[in-house]
């Protein structure tokens, strides 16, 4: 009886996940590595593919992941995107969250803009209605910002109007001819920037930053110390131990999940991305409905469990993929070497700003998508 209630509860979660956003559309490429092109007006879109092009307006929100994302139409609601290259030419009516290698924006963002990337460019045709929070190797802002600005990066160039205060941590800061900051400018850098005080209506506050080695992130004493700390080593050993338990004690289950994530990359990435966002919404809806809190509690517990498992399996998936690429073998070999390599690389990725965290997030989504597909097959 309890099993029947559990299956019913999980089924309801899946149902409410689909209904939690009105008229949601899930669009994936027909085959792995394929592209997605949207040429019709849709309402709430969740998609993933190698190259994703949105050429028609989207009502409400857009949630997309891929290698290259091209937004050529307007979005009425929020825009959440993760990709290697992101180009935004359509207006966004809500808040935008973006993570990628390169982000290029030449349109209006009505809400707040959050970004993490290697290179960020906001052209003079762009605008942000709310706050701008970003971290990147190079940031260029040529469009007006309606709120506050919080930036961290290697090189930052501001050449537009900013309605609020500005706080920057960067190796180099430059204010262009068109820069105009209505609030205070507070920045931290190794060297004091040459700033025309007439471009800042508020106070200019400079904090001296200690010089560090720039050739490699691993030449920094703090990073080396972080790698060699006892806590880091314990986490590394614990990750390897947990991975080995799954690989050898739950061998069939582990192989099924890992191979599913790698063989159906874009499908798993899209399902993982959608599940990450939709499941909490479904739990909230269930909690306030007549169904009761207990179903939402089961769903929430399962969601947390899947996230924990996904974090573990992200390392195994990464290690399996790396070994296949390096050895050029046809099959995926899931053994202790995959666990050790995966855990070590995952742990080291956290020391690479933005790109490392983004790569780790991608493999976590792959694992989550594979788990959801496995669970769906078992309950079907």
Give the 3-state DSSP-derived string for 67-105, with helices as H, strands as E and coil as C: EEEEECCCECCCEEEEEEEEEECCCECCCEEEEEEEEEE
Q: Which of 346, 338, 348 is nearest to 363 (CA)?
A: 346
Q: pLDDT at position 344, please?
A: 85
Report helix, strand or coil for 16.
helix
What are the boundaries of each domain within the chain?
22-211, 219-379
Q: Which two tokens stand for residue 66?
A: 């891929």
Question: Maximum distance among all alpha carbons in the chain?
Answer: 74
Residue 49: which of 60, 64, 70 has the closest Cα? 64
pLDDT per position as a tens digit, 115-142: 877 889 999 999 999 999 988 889 999 9
CB 165 within 8 A of CB 186: yes
Are the beta carbons of 213 and 207 closer than 8 angstroms? no
From CA 173, how far away is CA 305, in angstroms rounded?
A: 44
Low-confidence stretches of the chain (pLDDT beneath 70)? 1-24, 28-34, 211-234, 284-294, 350-351, 353-354, 380
Contacts of 194 by beta carbon, 8 Å cutoff, 6+ apart: none
**What distance in Å separates the CA atoms of residue 105 and residue 117, rounded to the nearest whole number?**
13
* DSSP letter assigned to residue 55: -
Q: pTM, whole model, 2 decimals? A: 0.62
Please list the alpha-helical segments (H only) found in the chain: 2-19, 221-228, 230-249, 251-263, 265-287, 293-327, 336-349, 355-379
Q: 159 φ, ψ to 5°?
A: -135, 45
**Do the beta carbons of residue 294 and residue 326 sit within 8 Å?**
no
State how far the Cα of 299 lies from the Cα of 323, in Å rounded to an integer: 35
Q: Is 120:355 a contact under the CB 8 Å cutoff? A: no
The per-residue pLDDT for 205 is 92
Tokens 């993929």 found at: 321
What's the token pair of residue 40? Answer: 């019709």
pLDDT digits (tens, 9 = 90+) for 310-350: 888 999 998 898 888 888 888 888 888 888 888 888 877 76
């Amino acid at each position: 009886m309890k099993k029947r209630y559990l299956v019913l509860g999980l089924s309801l979660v899946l149902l409410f996940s689909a209904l939690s956003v009105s008229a949601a559309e899930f669009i994936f490429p027909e085959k792995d590595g394929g592209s997605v092109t949207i040429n019709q007006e849709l309402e709430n879109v969740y998609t993933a593919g190698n190259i994703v092009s949105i050429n028609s307006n989207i009502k409400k929100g857009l949630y997309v992941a891929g290698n290259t994302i091209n937004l050529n139409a307007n979005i009425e609601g929020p825009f959440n995107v993760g990709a290697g290259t992101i180009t935004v030419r359509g207006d966004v009516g809500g808040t935008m969250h973006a993570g990628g290698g390169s982000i290029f924006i030449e349109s209006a963002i009505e809400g707040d803009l959050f970004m993490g990337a290697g290179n960020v460019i906001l052209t003079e045709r762009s605008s942000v209605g709310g706050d701008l929070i970003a971290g990147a190797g190079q940031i260029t802002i040529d469009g007006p910002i309606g709120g506050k600005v919080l930036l961290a990066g290697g090189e930052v160039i501001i050449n537009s109007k900013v309605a609020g205060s500005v706080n920057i941590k960067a190796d180099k800061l430059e204010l262009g001819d068109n820069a105009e900051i209505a609030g205070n400018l507070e920045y931290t850098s190794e060297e004091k920037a040459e700033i025309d005080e007439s471009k800042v209506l508020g106070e200019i506050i400079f904090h001296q930053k200690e010089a560090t080695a720039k050739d490699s992130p691993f030449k920094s004493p703090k990073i080396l110390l972080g790698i060699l700390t006892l806590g880091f080593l314990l986490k590394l050993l614990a990750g390897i131990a947990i991975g080995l338990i799954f690989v050898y004690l739950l061998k069939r289950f582990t192989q099924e999940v890992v191979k599913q994530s790698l063989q159906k990359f874009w499908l798993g990435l899209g399902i993982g991305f959608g599940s990450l966002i939709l499941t909490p919404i479904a739990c909230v809806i269930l909690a306030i409905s007549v169904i009761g809190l207990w179903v939402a509690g089961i769903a929430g517990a399962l969601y947390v469990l899947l996230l924990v498992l996904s974090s573990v399996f992200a390392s195994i998936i990464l290690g399996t993929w790396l070994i296949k690429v390096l050895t050029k073998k046809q099959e995926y070999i899931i053994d202790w070497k995959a666990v050790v390599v995966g855990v070590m690389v995952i742990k080291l990725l956290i020391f690479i700003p933005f790109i490392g965290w983004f790569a780790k997030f991608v493999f976590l989504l792959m694992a989550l998508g594979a788990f959801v597909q496995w669970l769906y097959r078992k309950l079907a």
